[in-house]
Structure 1
């Protein structure tokens, strides 16, 4: 009989730069208090998101089996996600250097932290946690076009060597994956993880607290931002095909 290969070993075998950052999620070690914090975070966000999140996010939330009452088991999430789009929610030890991050996106492995914020950091944590990574990001990976866009983004960035070009591509990520808006049925809907996972920021945007512009690649590539401040300008796309095409256009401009 052969020796079973763990998901960690399989993932490491597909990666080079990112391999040392991969870990196992020990789901059984989460405490009842941590599950309670997750539940409180999710149940606080869902009423607003059911009304204002894009339909692809809400569909993805159901499709990957996220629950309101307990933290996600990443192996179970990936088992539901991978047959749909080839993506996995892959546990990592923490913040990744850019080349490791891009390598993982290019391999359709989303780097996912396993720690959860404490109760005294419910509103905001400067470092992404499992709530931001899974609740904020991963449901969108169940949508085929968004999934293709994110892989394409990772492959393009992995090939770039000019730091100025990488900085500009970082703006494309920020104003789509992190703080993206989309127009659906005549309304502004949210899909960016920073809006999905932050009640304060999302409420401010929906209340008209920032300028919403039509998505324009050149404008986005030149739009500076501060990660520690509320966003004064955001961009709304008409479809996810638009950002997928934008990655190809950006590559031709920045290569």
Structure 2
């Protein structure tokens, strides 16, 4: 474990080591197939910050990431680390890790029969989908601020549910306007061809309505995890979501 990770109090029991040498050639082949399926679409439709982060942290098409190597590149840029965990974390452990700039990262990878979808996050969703954005300083600050706010609301289920909507419509299903075009940055879009296509081809396929980002609207926007999204909220910059996290604390504290 790195020094920052071992200082975690609540989440410490969920921390594990990634045994990178235990991955099989088949698993590396699955990773390569997943990346090859996503990159052509993302090169055109992902936001510039995601694509830049992908290269900054040294992700490769041909092999599963070694988190220690990723963190050697990521840490000096924003202070974040992709920290291996055993699986789903309880909310207090999850928010504690975010507040400490430790992103909970699963180490298992879906099998070839589940290339299109897995109901439980795996290393492809966590690292390919999330971690490149952590190399962007403003997004990195936003995510830490989000963790801090939620940790302070840990005993209020209703307020945490509202904050969960902010996470959903930014970190998971966030879109941003760049050069007059909707670009993707949320991990649920980045890591899923179906979800991305639903957004990209929305005019012809009845995809989601894209609304201007509004914090109050987001905090009150209900969603279903089990279906394609009907509404998404587009930001103009990542400063907007950082300020939103601070404003949410003022509204809900």
Instruction: Show the counterpart of 1:207.
Output: 201
Alignment of 1:5-154 (within 5 A): 6-7=1-2, 10-154=3-147
User: 1:11, CA displacement in angstroms?
Assistant: 4.2
**Distance between the aligned counterparts of 2:214 and 2:200, measured in 1?**
20
For residue 234 of structure 1, give the secondary structure of its aligned residue in structure 2.
strand
TM-score, scaled to structure 2 = 0.97
1:244 matched to 2:231? The reply is no
**Distance between the aligned counterparts of 1:206 and 1:51, measured in 2?**
10
1:179 matched to 2:177? The reply is no
Deviation sequence 1:190-220 (CA, Å, 0-9, x none): 0000000000110011101111111000110
Instruction: Show the counterpart of 1:191.
Output: 185
For residue 89 of structure 1, give the secondary structure of its aligned residue in structure 2.
strand
Structure 1 unaligned residues grouped into runs of 5+: 1-5
**Distance between the aligned counterparts of 1:81 and 1:51, measured in 2?**
24
Instruction: Show the counterpart of 1:254.
Output: 252
User: 1:13, CA displacement in angstroms?
Assistant: 2.8
Aligned Cα root-mean-square deviation (Å)? 0.7
**Distance between the aligned counterparts of 2:220 and 2:172, measured in 1?**
16
Instruction: Show the counterpart of 2:164.
Output: 170
Structure 2 unaligned residues grouped into runs of 5+: none
User: 1:12, CA displacement in angstroms?
Assistant: 4.5
**Distance between the aligned counterparts of 1:249 and 1:88, measured in 2?**
26
Q: Which consecutive segments of 4 or more residues in structure 1 shift more than 3 A?
A: none
For residue 189 of structure 1, give the secondary structure of its aligned residue in structure 2.
strand
TM-score, scaled to structure 1 = 0.96
CA contact (8 A) 2:110 2:118 kept: yes
Instruction: Show the counterpart of 1:3.
Output: none
**Distance between the aligned counterparts of 2:4 and 2:74, measured in 1?**
15
